[in-house]
Structure 1
Amino acid sequence: MESHQSTFAPDLSHLSRSEWLGALRRIGEEQGFAEPMGKTHAAIFVEDGDTLIVSFESMSGIEALSETRTPIGFDMVGGAGWSSLSLLSHGDTWFRDPRVYAFFDQLQDDGFFDEFETVLFYGAGPCGYAAGAYSVTAPGARVLMLQPQATLDPRVAEWDDRFAEERRRDFTSRYGFAPEMIDAADKAWVIYDPRERLDAMHSALFEKPNVARYRAPFMGGALQADFRALDLLPGLLSAAAEDRLSPALFASMLRARRDHPPYLRRLLHRLDADGRTELTRILCENVVARMHAPRFRRRLAQIESTDDSA
């Protein structure tokens, strides 16, 4: 990602929830616009450059993952000079709300997206679903989705029992089936861990000519949190917006997980579960040589002790 000098760097980490919401609204009113959509959803627009990121996030997700308690798009305004449209939800709603439909209808009618040279929709999980679904309002946009759901319509995804109570939401009306909504996108990327069975099944529903599906084995079911911890997200967003996100680039970026303890622990657990003792030894030797890792040191000692007693 190219560096960009910007004075836009709000830090809302010290505010209470009500103060936080008020501060976000004021930022939108001063920098672009703020649009409440009932008690559950809101939109904050910050105008800057001619690349627009349309990000979908839950408020709890922002509070948990952002040190400054600001939407992902704010990072791209300050770091890359983009404009940002942040769609916020109170809880996981998949943004299935007629008021959200009407908001995107109005943006489309106003030609809002036509004002930008590049538009990138982004989200993860339920928000990844929304990024795909609403990208249809900006034909030619690019879409980056981390482990998105395609739908919760039980007629299509009855095998996904994680969100059984959410099936009451309407996924059959407007903007309903995310894989169909990305047909108008210039290009879309789905990133998922193939060992997360339900995420992999949803990703298969996005099999379209304009979609690239990238595997992130052993990264687990919280890709956005891990990618943020590894500082990969800004680079992924930039590469997607600029249509540079290739299998080779993604693989090179994912090498950062070699120093990510959660990934290494998942890999160790899998190798042990599969009885791959020699590979386990190689992994432990590699990790112990590079970092302080008591668990890997103990496991290596166990393997060596077994060898000595054989």
Structure 2
Amino acid sequence: MTRQNQSFPPDLSRLSRSDWLAELRHIGDASGFSEPLGRHHAAVFVEEGDTLLVSFESMSGIEALSDRNVPLGFDMVAQNGWSSLSVLSHGDTWFREPRVYGFFDQLLDDGFFDEFERVIFYGAGPCGYAAAAYSVAAPGARVLLLQPQATLDPRVTEWDDRFVEMRRHDFTSRYGFAPDMIDAAQMAYLVYDPRERLDAMHSALFERRNVRRFRAPFMGGALQSELRALDILPLLLESVAEDKLDTARFAELLRARRDHPPYLRKLLSRLDADERDGLSRLLCRNVVGRMHAPRFRRRLQQLEAQAE
């Protein structure tokens, strides 16, 4: 029996952090396993189908992005009957912790990933780094990364000044340089906004024979929240699982941003900054003709008055 017919995932949105963690442990113990991984990390496994999603997520990210305050994998359990291994962090840690290394070592030694027909690693930003780095423990896995960092070793990425406090951490030992760790993956798919300069520079370090990189211009520096707002992240994961994520499929899914105000505002701002009034006028007419958009209507009136 699948969980699609049960009240899963539960609504944990009203629980305190301590009660939330206790409930996740209870869910894991009842449906698979749960394991603390030191002070800042934990893992929760829910066993269901023969496709396993290994998602790396921060606790604050779950609180911000999930209405029910549950890991992304729980949603995929409910929607698709997948199994879920959620690896959680307290804050942005890049999962650089010996207890986490040991956990994936043990899963590899136990043949845990061999029990599944398909394994998908997923993460965004710091969690995207971790998804790439630890995917080496499951050769043949598929990997979906949203604007990941390749490493924070200053000898390689001294140009990235966003996370200077992490430079004292070790990114050179085990599970270290993320682009090298995906060599054993069947395929890795990386999504980034080329206009986010530092994200684009990290993306270039992932250029490999088994990596497909997809550009998402004007989507900004918070791709995970934007893709979840568009409700296309589950569709991306399903396409990865079915080996169907190519340029055409990605473009088809990304068409949803045509009705996404934050994307449209970024696009208009760029056109205005470049003084491309003709294109700005066409964009405003298109948006006003399809949706209620006072800002675009006002800008269209300004542009038409200038043209006269």
Instruction: Give the TM-score, by structure 1 length.
Output: 0.97
Classify the secondary structure of the residue corresponding to 1:18. helix
List per-residue Cα deviations over 1:104-133 (Å, max 9, x = no partner).
000000000000000000000000000000
* Residue ranges of structure 1 left out of the alignment (5+ in a row): none
Structure 1 range deviating more: 47-56 or 10-19? 10-19
Q: How far is 1:4 from its partner?
A: 7.9
Distance in 2, matches of 1:178 and 1:128, equals 9
Deviation at 1:9, TM superposition (A): 2.2
Structure-1 separation of matches of 2:142 and 2:160: 27
Map of 1:5 onto structure 2: 4
Distance in 2 (CA, whole Å) between partners of 1:283 and 1:265 is 10
Give yes or no for contact 2:196–2:220 (8 Å, CA) kept in 1. yes
Which residue of 1 is the match for residue 18 of structure 2?
Answer: 18
Aligned residues of 2:57 and 2:127 also touching (Cα < 8 A)? yes
Number of the residue aligned with 1:274: 274
> Does residue 1:206 correspond to 2:206, yes or no?
yes
Question: Match of 1:147?
Answer: 147
Aligned to 1:68: 68
Q: Give 1:16 shift.
A: 1.1
Give the Å deviation of 1:11.
1.1
SS in 1 for 2:119: strand
Instruction: Report the Cα distance in structure 1 between the residues aligned to 2:200 and 2:170, rounded to whole angstroms.
Output: 23
Aligned residues: 306
Q: Secondary structure at the residue paired with 1:180? A: helix
Q: Quote the Cα distance in structure 2 between the aligned partners of 1:24 and 1:4.
A: 16
CA distances 1:225-255 after superposition (whole Å, capped 9, x unpaired):
0000000011000110111101000000000
> Could you say which residue in structure 1 is the equivalent of 2:195?
195
**Is the partner of 1:38 in helix, strand or coil?**
coil
Q: In structure 1, the residue corresponding to 2:267 is in which secondary structure? A: helix
Whether the 8 Å contact between 1:287 and 1:296 is mirrored in structure 2 is yes
In structure 1, C-alpha distance between the alignment counterparts of 2:306 and 2:212, rounded to whole Å: 45
The superposition leaves residues 163-215 of structure 1 with CA deviations (integer Å, 9 ceiling, x where unpaired) of 11111111000000000000000000000000000000000000000000000
2: CA distance, partners of 1:164 / 1:245: 34
- CA distance in structure 2 between the aligned counterparts of 1:214 and 1:254, rounded to whole angstroms: 11
Q: Is 2:48–2:77's contact at 8 Å kept on the other side of the alignment? A: yes
Q: Distance in 2 between matches of 1:234 and 1:73?
A: 10
Superposed CA offset, 1:238-285 (max 9, x none): 110111101000000000000001000000000001110000000000
Aligned residue in 1 for 2:93 = 93
- Mapped to 2, the partners of 1:47 and 1:5 lie a distance apart of 13
Distance 1:4 1:117 in 2: 19
Contact 1:57/1:71 (CA < 8 Å) preserved in 2? yes
> Can you list the C-alpha shifts for 1:135-158, whole angstroms capped at 9, x where unaligned?
000000000000000000001000
1:255 equivalent to 2:261? Answer: no
Q: Contact conserved, 1:6 with 1:79, CA < 8 A, in 2?
A: no
> Does the CA contact (< 8 Å) of 1:120 and 1:241 recur in 2?
yes
Partner of 1:123 in structure 2?
Answer: 123
Aligned to 1:238: 238
Alpha-carbon distance in structure 2 between the residues aligned to 1:148 and 1:5? 31
Q: Which runs of structure 1 show a deviation greater than 6 angstroms over 4 or more consecutive aligned residues? A: none
Separation of aligned partners in 2, 1:4 and 1:303: 53
**Following the alignment from structure 2 to structure 1, what is the Cα–Cα distance between the partners of residues 295 and 228?**
24
Secondary structure of the residue aligned to 1:214 is strand
The whole-number CA distance in structure 2 between the counterparts of 1:37 and 1:292 is: 48
* Equivalent position SS for 2:5: coil
Q: Provide the rounded CA distance (Å) in 1 between the counterparts of 2:9 and 2:127.
A: 24
Residues 9 and 70, structure 2, Cα contact 8 Å, conserved in 1: no
Matched letter for residue 227 of structure 2 = F
Q: Quick one: distance in 1 between partners of 2:83 and 2:206?
A: 27
The residue that corresponds to 1:134 in the other structure is: 134
Find the aligned partners of 1:298 and 1:69 in 2 and give their Cα distance: 38
Aligned to 2:302: 302
